[in-house]
Amino acid sequence: MAQKQEVVVTDIQMPLSSMIVFMVKWAVATIPAAIILFFLGVFLMTLFGKLGAGM
């Protein structure tokens, strides 16, 4: 079995335009994730609300 080796990244060379495109894609990708988390939260609050109302 191979031994573990630690790797430390000290610098990344990335043009500003590529970084901007990456960050815009990242921001756009958060929209569906936020929608999913919102509906999951609504579902859980409704579920626990109904359980609490039954007590």
Cα distances from 13 to residues 7, 16, 30, in angstroms, run 17, 10, 25
Cα distances from 55 to residues 7, 9, 31, in angstroms, run 55, 55, 37
Task: Give the model confidence (pLDDT) of 1-55 as tens digits.
Answer: 789 999 999 998 999 999 999 999 999 999 999 999 999 999 999 999 988 876 6
**pTM (whole model) above 0.85:** no
